[in-house]
Structure 1
């Protein structure tokens, strides 16, 4: 008999409680999911109660199977929300706000003026990406990550591709890694933005041939 088959009613109930208490389930259970998990737990409790008079081996078998089914259902319900949250976490732009490259630059300049290097770097990188979209060098793609944007822009500006990747790395570190940016990072991002504005993109086999880039 497997280790799961050796579980008693109390152990099986404890396994279920520990599983559903994990962060991924707790963080992903707004509204409907919360109600579904509550009903599953109630059903499990009713099942345990209904098996009180059954033979110990048969009762344990039913409980173990029920625990596995509940855990499987919980994972199936939670996974799409976790994947959606992960995708959203890495994107360059907030979904509820669309600003021009110049507006992002003004925000970056204002942040730098008050010594907020974190916001200065993130807004400057957003200005770079939005500028590439406005110049038709980069296709506008909702949910695009900083790394994806940098690697797609790079072939059109080969001399600056390494700087683009570095700026994307700083953006992710500040925005999602909760690491502080420095004044040097802010200056490097501003310098990159200026160089990109002053450079005509090179279209080749690797760069997307989109309209007439400027």
Structure 2
């Protein structure tokens, strides 16, 4: 089965037409403009591809999510959090967080073109970062895209023990306090599964997305601020 090649419009095929193998591959091509990225996320589609390749667009089935109330923090992580040496903030250093994620081996797909796209989304108030600081040095963080009351996590990084997990735990509680209703983790991996993420059918995820993107978070969620852990 062939996949669609995107043109200069911002239209995407319906996620139901994505391939089963590789799981969720829906389309290729197009640019990485903020407008295209916004259209993609609102339809449950995200980019992921290797450097020097045309953009590939995905909507896997099943979809990994973290549901409010299902965050898992094991005994070891809880013990670490009680004694953690970190300061955690929101939207203090978006570009640095994206760059930190891009330096990870798994983050090699985050090239300069897609970094620019997310930076534009950040300037428009749609993409956000969580930073972890130790002695005024950035040692971890995460970033993603907010659609209504849903947060689409894109990538995270750690330079010190449990830094990205601490970022997520602090952000999880902050997001829920402001009316957040679902975390999109895209594809289940060991890291997100250890925090309580699970797979749900794509159709169920798209129903949630359709509902939650029509709703709004409480004011102040994305103001630059320190978070408690």
- Classify the TM-score, shorter chain: under 0.3
Name the structure where strand makes up a greater proportion of residues. Answer: 2
**Going by fraction, where is helix more abundant, 1 or 2?**
1
Larger radius of gyration between Structure 1 and Structure 2: 1
Q: TM-score of the superposition, structure 2-length normalised?
A: 0.25
Q: Relative contact order (C-alpha < 8 Å, sep 6+): which is higher?
A: 2
